[in-house]
Structure 1
Amino acid sequence: MADNSNNSRPHCEYYLPRKKRFCRMIPKVGDRLCGEHMLYASEAYNELGNINKQERKRIPCPLDSKHTVYEDKLEKHLKLCNARHTTLSDYYEKEVNSGHISQSISKRPLSDIPEEKVLHIINKLYKLSKDQSLSSERSILQHHSLKEEIDGNPDATNAIKHYLQQASIIGNMEKFGLLRSQACYIEFGAGRGKLSHWVARALSEYNNKVEFVLIDRANNRRKLDCMHTSNKMGPKFERVKMDIEHFNLAKYSFKADWDVIGIGKHLCGAATDVSLRCLMNTQSQNSKCRTRNSVRGAILALCCHHRCDWKSYVNREYFLELGFDEEDFNVICSLSSWATCSFHKGQSEGVSAETSTSVMHGKEIGSDSCANESNLGSAVFQSRLNQDFRQKREEIGQLCKQLLNVTLEFETILCEGAEVIFSNFYLQNELSIGINVFSI
């Protein structure tokens, strides 16, 4: 029989505002909070575990703030913490790909921005779109490596969506000469490694002449690279568990004379910027050290522009030249969520101030879910903007996304005449392709 001894024990008394319920973890005997939420404990919450009649304090781990540790056990914990292995890596360099800004304006909720300022920015966007084109070239392609999956799953809507996106990415890679032998493919924000898996399938004829490095800061289950690691004749796959912001690609060991190609699918907001900076830093350092590896190009599928931040943004100078400042940037990032807004005519137009405030101030904005972009867009300013702008909110959101994308084309770190092409496929995604943009 199953052990039901825990059923009678009380659960953690910490209330989770976002889930609107109490934590379901079971604390230690004598405690009222579980280990994760002991960080928020006061003297009234603890009955046991005191030192010299003083409360034992839990603090965030300095190596990984996602978990906590007792302060008096910190020294011992640091010797055993799993995050320690990341910081000891040869290619770990703290904030090497960040924007290196000492101070930046904190992001204010859109509901706190004066309506006049928001309307001024929107009018400025429309004027800018007339003066210079912000639209992007459509290049929706297919690739034979995914034909069987696409044809064999006509009713699997969600699966088909991803297959078509991956086919378009690989098709554009082939079009611009990024499917090649003697190349190392770096997948940023790899997740389960689906994109690398299908790129490897497309390059099956080259086998041992390509390698894949998959970078992600989280552990993932059901990884597709496991399908390749057991194949000794296939391409080499290696995982790097690290935040892209701290990954010094120039220190990574590549085969001599092999090109480096960056790939990524659904790089949310600032992740795109730190990935581009990672590649640019690699090329600049390799040119100084006269190494043989060069960055051939990059292809990145973008999303979640509302999660961009000024510190990481790669082309702040050009953005300022257009007459915008940091506060305008933050507003434009928030307005970009309107492009995927789920609010339509069939729904009630009377979104309450309470709903708007809860979405804007809640943790939903900073969460990792891309789906929150549509929730954010549907609740903002519905009761404040006039009807004309409310009907054009998706168009305004697209203008914001296009502005954030097109400024990458004028990134001054890239060589003169660099070609950056954006391809829109589906509502959320833009494809950024850089061809030989990092060549010396």
Structure 2
Amino acid sequence: MSKVNNKSSEADKVAIPPLPLNWDRCHAYNLPKRRYCRQRPIPISVKCSTQNQPRYCGNHSHLMEEWLSNNHGQPPACADDDNAAKEDDNDAHTRKIPRKNNHSNHNEGVNNKKNRGKRVPCPIDHSHLVFEGSISKHILVCPAAKRKQEVAGKDYYSEGINLGGCGDMGTVNESKIADSLEAKELAYAVLRVFSHLFLATHGDDIGTLSDDCTLSNEQLQNITESEIYDALPESDLSGVEEGTSCDATPCMPAVDGTAAVSGRLSRAISDHRIRAGGPRHLRQIASILGHMRCEGLISVKNAESEVKSLVIEMGAGRGMTGLVVAGAMGASLARDNSKVQLCLIERSGTRGKAETRIRMSEGKHSNDDCLRLDLVDVTRVRCDLAHVDIRKALDTHGRHEHSSKTVVIAKHLCGAGTDLALKSLRNLASIDGCVFATCCHGLCNWNDYVGRNCLLSLFCSKTGGLTSFGEKQFHLMRRWASASVLDDRQIPNANSPGTDDNQSEDDHNNLVPNDDDDDDDDGKGKGSNIFAVVGDLGLACGSKGLGRACQRLIDYGRCEYMRNTLLRTDYHSGGTFNVRLLHYVPRDVTPQNALIIATRERSLMI
């Protein structure tokens, strides 16, 4: 509301013009706007008014009291009080209640706002903020509290069932702050372990170690970024899945200026109006689908009887990746009376879900369609991966755990979400394959990490050369992993002051670690900054190479968990699993291009 002041002190500074001719609005002059208020005044009796009596609206009714006090008394008396009273009664229903200028109440409201404190994350749902002084009241009406109470009443909800990770905790340190010497020792250990696992190998299988794999510090300093990246095989099958050549893929310009693959899968996704994201996300989905098809996870051989295939997408979001995989599996079915069951597990609600696309696709299909959404039966489990019991969730929604084919997928499940998803799978009796595209290693944490035993055995051995390893060292590794996704222009000089290595993980989200006890927050432990460590040691791989090495070691620990604990044997046939780690798309598509594929031996698959 504009400020209005008709006092003589202000009038001396600004000449108030006379009222316009036949002015029937408020008589309060607005100094900032240099005009009279345009609100309608409070209705009063015409006979009670005089030419000298001003009229004000409800916002400026306090000026009438000032005018009366300056005129020493009451307004002029009416000639006919009875008629005036009648007219006042007739206008009573249209008269507004004057707003009092109660400065004490206004000041009290200002003080109340100051006493509310600062905004803090809601203790129930950290996605929104509340005032510190209103937390107790907000908890009673918070929608997240109602949703949490509703989810907690489900049969498949079990508080913290998938928390805690797997393995020993290692060396426990009270402080996470590492000095420069410890950081340099860890950097050398990371490169030694990485070369031990990925560079000094015989054959194509990662983990087949050579006898002599111990490198000197000078040799470690000469490892380049390209050597670290090329240590993992790169296999982009998006062109194969699109029905085009991988080397000469026909492209068309996209909205964002990049190139999008134009093939059968792209056309099917466009025809079914599946919101798969931009061309980069579409290429990732196509490559993931191609790898699954090559591993035999899409086609179903049993065509004589009814087939019950199950696709589980962890951290599904809208569920578009699972929808494409289930649709491709439905297109491979030999009988139209069979169904592919799709189970989407996601903790938060979202719009434009896969359920809508399936519902809109009823009766719309062709024989040569590579996606059959009409043969997909979808269900959604809204629960955090930390608290979901997948076996009970499948039973609750009528899904068959003992299906002819059970496939688990996850595309860019951020940070510790991948570890929670892997641990939740231990309750499933049979799994034919797992496909996980890892992401956001900077958001991992030691408490929920499933590959603790693997890293402890690697770093606290002759190869790693460390005397201790635990949360403190893992804290540095997961922070350093964030540097692998930086552009060259974002990498500062090693000696730049105030450099922070906590950067965004990928262009599809900007989640970064934000620990209260982070080393660089208070200026301590800046020697552990990855740019300072790389500069002091003179590492040829740079910060991006060292960060990528940290990423791959974190993923390798997950592979070992899947190989030795989660998928050690199949409960029904006793078959073993093959776990591979590779790059499924080039890094110019996404820097988070690592894919973990775990499949049952081909001879034992149905």
Q: TM-score, normalised by structure 1?
A: 0.71
Deviation at 1:263, TM superposition (A): 0.5
Aligned residues: 371
**Are 2:270 and 1:136 aligned?**
no
Choose from 295, 301, 311 the match for 2:437. 301
Letter in 2 for 1:133: F
Deviation at 1:172, TM superposition (A): 0.6
Rounded Cα–Cα distance in structure 1 between residues aligned with 2:144 and 2:578: 48
Rounded Cα–Cα distance in structure 2 between residues aligned with 1:142 and 1:151: 12
Q: 1:248 is matched with which residue? A: 389
Q: 2:568 is matched with which residue? A: 415
Alignment of 1:184-199 (within 5 A): 184-199=310-325
Q: 1:349 is matched with which residue? A: 493
Rounded Cα–Cα distance in structure 2 between residues aligned with 1:183 and 1:329: 39
Rounded Cα–Cα distance in structure 1 between residues aligned with 2:426 and 2:139: 37
Choose from 518, 533, 544 the match for 1:394. 544
Unpaired runs of 5+ in structure 2? 1-106, 200-230, 260-277, 301-307, 363-373, 461-468, 519-525, 570-575
* Secondary structure in structure 2 of the residue aligned to 1:203: helix
Q: CA RMSD in A?
A: 4.0
Q: Could you say if the C-alpha distance between residues 30 and 201 of structure 1 is closer, same or farther in structure 2, counting changes exceeding 3 Å?
A: farther
Contact kept, 8 Å, 2:124 with 2:145, in 1: the verdict is no
Q: Could you say if the C-alpha distance between residues 394 and 215 of structure 1 is closer, same or farther in structure 2, counting changes exceeding 3 Å?
A: same
Q: Could you say if the C-alpha distance between residues 221 and 44 of structure 1 is closer, same or farther in structure 2, counting changes exceeding 3 Å?
A: closer
* Secondary structure in structure 1 of the residue aligned to 2:598: strand
Contact kept, 8 Å, 1:154 with 1:160, in 2: the verdict is no
Rounded Cα–Cα distance in structure 2 between residues aligned with 1:94 and 1:117: 37
**Are 2:532 and 1:406 aligned?**
no
**Are 2:595 and 1:431 aligned?**
yes
Rounded Cα–Cα distance in structure 1 between residues aligned with 2:235 and 2:241: 18
Rounded Cα–Cα distance in structure 1 between residues aligned with 2:174 and 2:343: 34
Larger Rg: 2
Q: 2:476 is matched with which residue? A: 331
Contact kept, 8 Å, 2:480 with 2:530, in 1: the verdict is no
Letter in 1 for 2:428: T
Deviation at 1:381, TM superposition (A): 4.4
Deviation at 1:201, TM superposition (A): 3.2
Letter in 1 for 2:258: T
Rounded Cα–Cα distance in structure 1 between residues aligned with 2:379 and 2:413: 20
Deviation at 1:431, TM superposition (A): 0.5
**Are 2:465 and 1:316 aligned?**
no
Q: TM-score, normalised by structure 2?
A: 0.53
Contact kept, 8 Å, 2:327 with 2:376, in 1: the verdict is no
Q: 1:281 is matched with which residue? A: 427
Q: 1:163 is matched with which residue? A: 282
**Are 2:449 and 1:340 aligned?**
no
* Secondary structure in structure 2 of the residue aligned to 1:389: coil
* Secondary structure in structure 1 of the residue aligned to 2:538: helix
Q: Could you say if the C-alpha distance between residues 163 and 65 of structure 1 is closer, same or farther in structure 2, counting changes exceeding 3 Å?
A: closer
* Secondary structure in structure 2 of the residue aligned to 1:239: strand
Letter in 1 for 2:236: I
Contact kept, 8 Å, 1:418 with 1:435, in 2: the verdict is yes
Choose from 339, 346, 352 the match for 1:209. 339
Moved more, 312-321 or 379-388: 379-388
Unpaired runs of 5+ in structure 1? 1-28, 33-41, 47-54, 284-293
Q: Could you say if the C-alpha distance between residues 350 and 84 of structure 1 is closer, same or farther in structure 2, counting changes exceeding 3 Å?
A: same
Contact kept, 8 Å, 1:145 with 1:198, in 2: the verdict is no
Deviation at 1:343, TM superposition (A): 3.9
Contact kept, 8 Å, 2:530 with 2:543, in 1: the verdict is no
Letter in 1 for 2:419: D
Contact kept, 8 Å, 1:179 with 1:203, in 2: the verdict is yes
Deviation at 1:420, TM superposition (A): 0.9
* Secondary structure in structure 2 of the residue aligned to 1:423: strand
Deviation at 1:204, TM superposition (A): 3.6
Q: Could you say if the C-alpha distance between residues 180 and 278 of structure 1 is closer, same or farther in structure 2, counting changes exceeding 3 Å?
A: farther
